[in-house]
Structure 1
């Protein structure tokens, strides 16, 4: 499901400080190789058996290329997904995400957004 109640989407930032801030907040940069896109995932454990939730933040390069480590990234609308073992991660609205998981995801993303804005203010 799209997490549209945050302000992180459309943020534009250089790849290196973006990755630093995301990793400092528990996100992992996905290891896929790509010139134009980045994906950060945050694992949210659940007391439900064989269920794990993920917050996914994706971005695309508007300047440079990701592979070089020198790119300017625009963040897309974050997603909340649910991993049903052994089937994989689903991001659809029909998954029926618990409100406490949605609230937690929004808090995490708002905290990241605050740090991104603070970094931008300090560098301007």
Structure 2
């Protein structure tokens, strides 16, 4: 499910501070990157049996190389996914995401957006 009601999409930031802010908010980069793209995932446990939700924030390099650790990243539209054990994560609207899960994801994105903006403003000074 695309989460389009936030300001994080199209934010542009260097890879290292972006990763620091994302990890500070519980996201994991792990091995989910290549030379041009990064993907941060946040695991959100659910009360349903064998269901886990994931908040995913991806981006791509508009300058530099992610592999080198020196890249400027543009953030794409965040996604909310539902993991069905043992099949994998589905990101479609038809998954029927509970309202409380969507609201929690939006709160997390809002907090991340505030921190990204604060960092960008401090760097501009």
TM-score by length of 2: 0.98
**Counterpart in 2 of 1:114?**
114
Query: RMSD of the TM alignment (CA)?
Result: 0.7
CA distance in structure 2 between the partners assigned to 1:94 and 1:5 by the alignment: 18
CA distance in structure 2 between the partners assigned to 1:81 and 1:45 by the alignment: 12
**Cα distance, 1:33 vs. partner?**
4.6
**Counterpart in 2 of 1:78?**
78
**Counterpart in 1 of 2:103?**
103
Give the secondary structure class of the aligned counterpart of 1:56: strand
**Counterpart in 2 of 1:20?**
20
1:30-49 aligned within 5 A: 30-49=30-49
Preserved CA contact (<8 Å) 1:30 1:38? no
TM-score by length of 1: 0.98
**Cα distance, 1:32 vs. partner?**
3.4
Determine if the alignment matches structure 1 residue 92 to structure 2 residue 92: yes
**Cα distance, 1:113 vs. partner?**
0.3
**Counterpart in 2 of 1:55?**
55
Provide, for residues 3-55 of structure 1, a one-character-per-residue CA deviation record: whole Å limited to 9, x for no partner: 00111000000000000000000000030351000000000000100000000
Runs of 4+ in structure 1 over 4 Å off: none
Which runs of 5 or more residues in structure 1 are unaligned?
none
